[in-house]
Amino acid sequence: MLLQGSEMVSAAEERLGPMRLTQEPIQVLLVFAKEDSQSDAFWWACERAGFRCNIARTPESAVECFLDKHHEIIIIDGRHSRYFEADAVCRMIRATKPSEQAVILAVMPQTPSDQEEPSVLPLLSAGFSRRYLENSSVSVCYNELIQLEHGEVRAQFKLRACNSLFTALEQCQEAVEISSEDHVIQYVNPAFEKMMGYHRAELIGKELTELPKSEKNSADLLDTINTCIKKGKEWQGIVFSRRKSGDSIQQYVRITPVIGQGGKIRHFVSIKRPYSDNHKQVHKLSKEEKSCGEHSQSECNSLRHKDRRKESVDVRSISSHSSDAPSLQNRRYSSMARIHSMTIEAPITKVINIINAAQESSPVTVAEALDRVLEILRTTELYSPQLASKEDDPHTNDLVGGLMSDGLRRLSGNEYVLSKSALHNMSQSQLAVPVPLNDIPSSIAELLNEEERWEFNILELEAATHKRPLSYLGLKIFSAFGMCEFLNCTEATLRSWLQVIEANYHASNSYHNSTHAADVLHATAYFLRKDRVKGSLDQLDEVAALLAATVHDVDHPGRTNSFLCNAGSELAILYNDTAVLESHHAALAFQLTVRDSKCNIFKNMERTQFRTLRQAIIDMVLATEMTRHFEHVNKFVNSINKPMSAIEETSSNSEGSDCEGPASIRNSPENRLLIKRMLIKCADVANPCRPLELCIEWAGRISEEYFAQTDEEKRQGLPVVMPVFDRNTCSIPKSQISFIDYFIMDMFDAWDAFASLPGLMEHLAENYKYWKNLDEMKCKSLRPPPLP
């Protein structure tokens, strides 16, 4: 063993919590030839500390008493050599086996100030742990005892516990390997020797890298494991290892870093067991499936298992086979075998099967923990974080409740119906005559010249176009991206389509109107022009993104999905209370497009290409629904951000930052889908990343829309979805802070890491600071109060 005593203590520090380390109370042996003030002081100090104390007057009686009581602390008087030699007494005690874990203190006389301080080396050589200079103060003696208890004594208790733990490791049936922070093997138990075919002496002191590796592991597996454990995180999974004989063995491995003094990793503990053991048992018992046919169907159905962890028994098994425990357990394995043999498996099913198999040979505590893991995996809200209590942050809770749920699913007599039927009450005569791009008024054209800048002021365009910014901005952006050429349609058709779509946005909405659609279209075009985004998507993706941005909120009623569900609206009933508005936006957009040849931008497309484009548009519009917000963001981070970051780190020494690895990640169909979803999600809620004045205006508009919803909920007697958005009490700064904290910050961090958007992140930081300052001033409005 290469572990030193201090290292063993450090290694056990975090692992011995549940184990009793001390024998209460601590026992102290005083070895004093005569009673004096010093011995009395230690006696009373023991009384104060709650320690048991014995006194021995001779070396012989001291050894006898120690062998009887096994004291943790021994204090030997070394002031008067005429009675006995303290060194000799210490050596006599140290000659006994129990003294290995005893702390022995030498009481020495004070050194006169004119003499040189003697060395402590002779005392340490004799076996003493430390020296105590004569002082008959009870408080000083008490402090010395307390320091010994919390220092040397506690360390000895831990070493004693370590000895017990290593004894347990020697008997453990699972293979255990302990290596240093530098991956030098320091310990393996007999089970490891048996499994791997090595003798302990062949492994101790060797680096793990010196041992032969199995070629069956994936190339990056070891790097993945090292990256994880070096961060102090536990890693567990399936690994192939090479035995001494040269054959490979598949193992289930759990590697746990052990944190020592200073918070540094001191050791790694690896626990290994043959992975195939879990499946051999299942495979063996699966043969019993055939025997089921020999019994009646009812008899087979009654064979249910008793869960050894939850102690719950199927009633039918009690009534028919209450005494047939082996059969019940076999049926459980047989059922597991059927599950493992299923040919139609989703990825999550495979994960659950692996966990179920691992439970079979796991300790009860591990099996119970895996039960909780399975409960989580079987929920549908895998990506949604759990909030604290509502009292902690009502603004965040209300935002989440209003944006990420579909209401209380309670139908009432009060039904909210859209103010107009978009398909039947709109005629072309209501629309302004489309203006060709070349004939746009100069004042509007001048504004549109700034369209490629993030700081483009959409509100100025709103005013200049008399609240019809979408048609004008759409013409400019669509022309820049070659929309007519791709769709094989005329500019007149495209203009007509833009006019139809814009006419179906509600100008009466303070937020969800055509200006918001134009703002999202502008952000979408801005993102599409970024090098990494542009290099990841093809032209169909770009066209789909621009069209999805244009229609993503068409015919929005200015109310949330939760409101429509609670009100029992026609749309909520039509779409089964699921993604109500987003489904309506996508469906209506295509209905409006194909109903009239004059505005049907898809009429000349090839059928297959149209189907692909249509699916991409629908997917992006549905991605703006907030109930799956965290799913989309987490998938983007795990499938794109992290893999690209890992590849770029390994290729940082090569020329150029954009290598083939990241490009292949970005350009896969699955990841292009994630990029498009993330793109439109960020474009849809980019207001906090706009210049401050635009950010403030948009915050006021969305707040007014939420205020109006709360007013209507109260009037109709509906559940109030977002109570904090009461126009009489709401703090707009608090609502913006909560929205940024909960929805915006992480999403834009991920999008910035991909698309490189430093300007947006600067605006976001500035705007967040602005809202924070207002909140600290106890200001509830959009702007600080005017100075007196």
Note whether residue 659 is domain-resident: no
Amino acid 275: pLDDT? 76
Average pLDDT over residues 741-746: 93
pLDDT digits (tens, 9 = 90+) for 97-129: 888 888 999 999 988 888 888 899 999 999 999
Question: In whole angstroms, what separates CA 697 from the centre of its chain?
Answer: 34
* pLDDT score for 403: 66
Mean predicted lDDT score pLDDT of the chain = 81
188 and 159 together in one domain: no
Query: In the structure, what pLDDT confidence band is assigned to residue 399 with cuts at 50, 70 and 90?
Result: low
Asked if residue 682 and residue 607 are part of one domain, the reply reads yes
| Residue of 512, 522, 584, 585 marked active site | 512
In a domain, 412, yes or no: no
CB 702 within 8 A of CB 785: no
Please give the pLDDT value at position 393: 65
30 within a domain of the structure (yes/no): yes
Residue 157's pLDDT is what?
A: 73
Residue 605 has pLDDT above 70, yes or no: yes
The CATH number assigned to the domain holding 631 equals 1.10.1300.10
Q: Which among 274, 292, 327 is the end of a domain?
A: 274
Edge-to-edge strands of the sheet including 235-242? 185-188, 175-180, 265-274, 248-259, 235-242
What percent of the chain has pLDDT above 70?
78
Indicate the residue type of 329: Q
Q: Is 516 among the annotated ligand-binding positions?
A: yes
What is the structure's pLDDT at 353? 72
* Residue 488 structure tokens: 């094989």
CATH number of the domain where residue 267 is located: 3.30.450.20
Burial class (CB in 10 A: 0-12, 13-18, 19+), 331: buried
Whether residue 552 is annotated as binding a ligand: the answer is: yes
| Other Cβ atoms within 10 Å of 226 Cβ, number | 13
pLDDT at 748 over 80: yes
The CATH number given to whatever domain includes residue 52 is: 3.40.50.2300
- One domain for residues 161 and 135: yes
Pick the last residue of a domain from 274, 308, 326: 274
**200 lies in the same domain as 244:** yes
Residues 104 and 39 in one domain: yes
* Within a domain: 677: yes
The residue-averaged pLDDT of 684-700 equals: 97
Mean predicted confidence (pLDDT) in 202-208: 89
Q: Is the CB of residue 528 less than 8 Å from the CB of residue 719?
A: no
- Phi-psi bin for 633: left (phi > 0), alpha (psi -120 to 50), beta? alpha
| Pair 185, 66 in one domain | no
583 part of a folded domain: yes
What is the reported pLDDT for 785? Answer: 86
For residue 303, name the pLDDT band (cuts at 50, 70, 90): very low
pLDDT value of residue 54: 93
Instruction: Tell me whether residue 782 is in a domain.
Output: no
pTM: 0.55
List the single range of 13-17, 218-222, 515-519 with lowest mean pLDDT: 13-17
- The beta-carbon contacts of 36-42 under 8 Å, at least 24 apart in sequence, are 36/136, 37/136, 38/77, 38/79, 38/107, 38/134, 38/135, 38/136, 39/77, 40/136, 41/135, 41/136, 41/137, 41/138, 41/140, 41/141, 42/75, 42/141, 42/145
Angstrom distance (rounded) from CA 595 to CA 593: 6
Please say if the pLDDT value at position 408 is more than 80: no
pLDDT at 323: 39
Residue 449 lies in a domain: yes
Q: Is residue 52 within 8 Å of 72, Cβ to Cβ?
A: no
Asked whether residue 684 is marked as a ligand-binding residue, the answer is yes
Residue 638: per-residue pLDDT: 87
pLDDT at 38: 93
Q: What is the pLDDT of residue 655?
A: 52
**79 and 193 fall within a common domain:** no
- pLDDT given for residue 313 in this prediction: 34
C-alpha distance from residue 218 to each of 214, 222, 227, 456 (Å): 10, 8, 15, 49
Domain residues for the domain of 221 are 173-274
The number of distinct structural domains making up the chain is: 3
Residues 180, 267: contact at Cβ < 8 Å?
yes
175-188 pLDDT per residue, tens: 999 998 888 999 99
**Could you give the CA distance from residue 691 to residue 450 in angstroms, rounded to a whole number?**
14
pLDDT tens digits, one per residue of 418-462: 434 444 444 433 444 456 777 788 999 999 999 999 999 999 999
Q: Is the CB of residue 681 less than 8 Å from the CB of residue 631?
A: no
**Is 556 marked as binding a ligand?**
no
* 10 pLDDT above the threshold of 50: no
Buried (b) or exposed (e) across 76-95, using 16+ Cβ within 10 A?
A: bbbbeeeebebbebbebbee
Distance of CA 521 to the CA centre of its chain: 32
User: What pLDDT, on the 0 to 100 scale, is given for residue 645?
Assistant: 83
CA–CA distance, 395 with 382 (Å, rounded to integer): 23
At 166, the pLDDT band (50, 70, 90 cuts) reads: confident
Residue 600's Cα: distance from chain center in Å?
A: 46
User: Is residue 293 in a domain?
Assistant: no
Shared domain for 212 and 98, answered yes or no, is no
Q: What was the pLDDT predicted at 335?
A: 40
pLDDT of residue 350: 72
Residues 88 and 181 in one domain: no
pLDDT at 642: 86
- Is 514 annotated to bind a ligand? Reply is yes
Mean pLDDT calculated for residue range 50-58: 92
Instruction: Please indicate if the annotation marks 729 as binding a ligand.
Output: no
pLDDT of 370: 81
Q: Is 512 a catalytic residue?
A: yes
The verdict on whether residue 513 carries a ligand-binding annotation is: yes
Q: What proportion of the chain, given as a percentage, has pLDDT over 90?
A: 52
Are 693 and 581 found together in one domain? yes
Q: Is 553 annotated as a binding residue?
A: yes
**Residue 295: predicted pLDDT:** 41
Residues 6+ apart with CB under 8 A from 641: 750, 753, 754
Q: Can you name the residues that pair with 238 across neighbouring β-strands?
A: 252
The CA-based angle 7-9-14, given to 5 degrees, is 110
In the numeric block, the tokens 């049926």 are attached to 331
Residues 680 and 605 in one domain: yes
pLDDT over threshold 90, residue 344: no
Average pLDDT of the residues in 650-670: 64
Which pair of tokens denotes residue 496?
A: 């007509």
Q: What φ, ψ does residue 73 adopt, rounded to 5°?
A: -125, 130
| Mean pLDDT within 323-350 | 46
Extract the tokens encoding 199.
């003798």
Task: For tokens 């365009």, name the residue.
Answer: 461
Query: Given 240, 274, 308, which residue is the final one in a domain?
Result: 274
Task: State whether 146 and 243 are in the same domain.
Answer: no
Q: Classify 504 as helix, strand or coil.
A: coil
Extract the tokens encoding 328.
Answer: 């019940």
